[in-house]
Structure formats: structure tokens, C-alpha cells
Amino acid sequence: MRSLQEKRELLYVIRTLDVLISSGVGLEAALHTIGKGGYGVISTDFQNMMERLTSGKTRGLSDELKSLQKKAESKGYQRLLNTLYTNVTQNTDLVDTLKKQGARMEEERTEEVEKYIETLGGVPESLLSIGMIGPIILSIVGLVPQIMSGDLGAFMSLPEASTMNLVVNVGLVGTLLAMFFIGLKAHTKDPGL
């Protein structure tokens, strides 16, 4: 979930940092601006980091960025934090790197959406196969004690009606679970637009 929230906000954070830093704002002030809000989980992270920095409870911005990298779940966010860390420790060209990262993030997002659409291509078929074949078979199984009652049932040595009902109920719950897990793909693979 956190990874999805990070992905959703990251490109906007990169663009804002790009605008701020290219117009001459220092890195700490830029991080403070992001931390003021509007960028979800990344704003919260930066706000906590700036609070710790201003209270003097930390050894410096580089250490904070390093520890935030461990908390980050998406690769893009980890990359951004690494870029900021490298800028703090080695004075790299941050604006240029942010522009490249922004472009790369956009490419990745496009690829992820296309992949998502492709991945979900098979979901309706799988969902409908399981969701339709299961109940059709189970409804016939459930009706067997009614249809084959009396001598025919005794001849075929059919199980008790309660056993058949149990089989149907378990089967229906199983079908629902299978449908749920097939549909879960729509959530887990979400590119976070």
C-alpha cells in the first residue's frame, strides 16, 4: 500500500523539487516546502525528517536521507532519496539528475500502465470461467438428492442429502475465494495513476 502511495506522488515531488531548485531554492528549503503537505506519504516523511533536523535529534541531512531510504518501498522513491543523498555528500548537479529521473519515471509509468492493461486482459476470462463453471456444476450436485430420490438414489448409493449440501456450500465458498483471488490482481498490479 505504501509503495503504491509513494509511486502515485513521486513524479509530482520530482517536478516540484526541479522547479524549486532550478529557481535557486536550497535543498533543505525545498524539502521543507514538500513537507508542508500536498504530496501524501512523501510529505509526511519529509515533514518528520525536517522536524528531527530542526530539533537537533539527528546527525544531519545525509544521515536522515540514508535512513529514509530504508523506509522507502518503491524503487523510484529510493532512487530519488539516493540522488538527494549524493547531492548532499558529493555536491552533484541535482537539477540535471532530477530532470532525467522525471523523464525516466514517466517512461516507467507508461510501461506499467500498458503492462497493467495487458495483465488484466485475462482476468475477465478467468473470473468468468471459474465463476460460471463452478456454480453450474454445484447446482446440479445440489439438485441430485432431489432428482434421484427413492429407489434410484438407493441403487446409485448416493450420499446423504446433508453431505451433498455441505459439498455444495464448500464448493460455492471455494468458487467465491477463487474469484476473489483472481480479481485481486486488479489491486496488486495497480500502477497508481
Partner 1 sequence: MIIRILESFNDSPMMLYILIVAIACIGGGIPPMLERRRRREIENQLPGFLEALSDSVGAGRGLQEAMMEQAESSPGLLTTILKETLREAHSSSFEAMLASFAAKTRSTQVQRVMVLIDTALEQDAPLQPILSDLSRDYERLNDLMNLREVELQGRGILIILFVSIGLPVLIAFIVGLFAPASKGYQITEFNSTFALFFAVASVIGVGVTGRMLGRLKDMLWWLPLWMVLSMALYLGAVKAVGG
CA angle 70, 13, 184 (to 5 degrees): 65
Asked if 20 is part of the footprint of partner 1 (rule: CB under 8 A), the reply reads: yes
Using the minimum distance from each CB to partner 1, give the nearer residue, 89 or 163: 163
CA distances from 73 to 42, 66, 142, 167, 189 (A): 11, 13, 48, 43, 15
Footprint of partner 1 on 117-156 (CB under 8 A): 117, 120-121, 123-124, 127-128, 131-132, 135-136, 139-140, 142-143, 146-147
Selected binder of partner 1 within 11, 27, 95, 158 (CB under 8 A): 11
Selected binder of partner 1 within 4, 95, 113, 167 (CB under 8 A): 113
Which positions ≥6 away from 112 have C-beta within 8 Å? 191
The distance of closest approach from Cβ of residue 123 to partner 1 in the complex, given in angstroms and rounded to an integer, is 7
Footprint of partner 1 on 156-175 (CB under 8 A): 165, 168-169, 172, 175
Angle between helices 40-55 and 27-35 (to 10 degrees): 120
Using the minimum distance from each CB to partner 1, give the nearer residue, 76 or 85: 76
Footprint of partner 1 on 34-63 (CB under 8 A): 38
The distance of closest approach from Cβ of residue 171 to partner 1 in the complex, given in angstroms and rounded to an integer, is 10
Count CB neighbours of 38 within 10 A.
13
Selected binder of partner 1 within 3, 4, 19, 167 (CB under 8 A): 19
Asked if 32 is part of the footprint of partner 1 (rule: CB under 8 A), the reply reads: no
Check if the beta carbon of residue 171 is closer than 8 Å to that of residue 144: no
Using the minimum distance from each CB to partner 1, give the nearer residue, 80 or 168: 168
Comparing CA positions, the residue from 86, 78, 128, 98 lying closest to residue 25 is: 98
Asked if 101 is part of the footprint of partner 1 (rule: CB under 8 A), the reply reads: no
